[in-house]
C-alpha cells in the first residue's frame, strides 16, 4: 500500500510522528486482507474482531513531509486463535527501510473472548 506523508503526519521536528506509523500499519493490514479477498467489515459482521495484543516496532530512519512511502505486509505465523504479521514502511524513491514491525492479533467474539480464527481467514493467511 502506498501513501503520501502530509503535514498532519509530522511532529514539531518535521518528521513523521512515531504513533502515525501504527495508523499506517493498521491501514495496510486492512488492505492486505482486502487484496486477498477478505473484508474486515465482513469478518466483523460475522462476529470476529482482531485486537492487537503485541506490537514490536523498530524505527530505522524518518519519513518527512511529502515522502511517498509504501507499507508492505507479510504473514509470519498463524495459530489457532491468533496470527502475526511483519510490516515495513519503505520510502518509495530510494527503497530505504524506515520502520519495521511485528504485530500479533487475536480473534475475539462477543465479550472479547478468544475464539478460533475463521476458516476463510486461515486459508488466506496460509496461502499468503
Write down the catalytic residue from 9, 11, 94, 95.
11
Place of cell 511532529: 11
117: left (phi over 0), alpha (psi -120 to 50) or beta: beta
d(CA 123, CA 125): 6
Q: Which DSSP symbol is given to 14?
A: S
Q: Which DSSP symbol is given to 16?
A: B
Q: Are 98 and 126 in contact (CB under 8 A)?
A: no
Q: Indicate if 9 belongs to the active site.
A: no
Pairing of β 2-4 and β 82-91: unpaired
Kindly list the catalytic residues: 11
Amino acid at each position: 500500500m502506498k501513501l503520501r506523508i502530509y503535514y498532519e503526519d509530522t511532529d514539531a521536528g518535521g518528521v513523521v510522528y512515531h504513533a502515525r506509523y501504527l495508523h499506517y500499519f493498521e491501514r495496510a493490514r486492512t488492505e492486505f486482507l482486502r487484496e486477498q479477498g477478505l473484508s474486515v467489515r465482513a469478518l466483523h459482521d460475522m462476529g470476529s474482531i482482531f485486537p492487537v495484543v503485541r506490537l514490536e516496532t523498530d524505527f530505522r530512519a524518518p519519513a518527512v513531509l511529502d515522502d511517498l512511502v509504501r507499507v508492505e505486509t507479510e504473514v509470519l505465523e498463524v495459530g489457532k486463535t491468533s496470527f502475526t504479521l511483519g510490516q515495513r514502511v519503505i520510502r518509495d524513491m530510494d527503497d530505504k527501510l524506515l520502520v519495521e514491525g511485528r504485530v500479533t492479533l487475536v480473534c475475539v467474539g462477543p465479550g472479547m473472548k478468544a475464539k478460533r480464527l475463521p476458516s476463510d481467514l486461515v486459508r488466506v493467511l496460509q496461502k499468503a
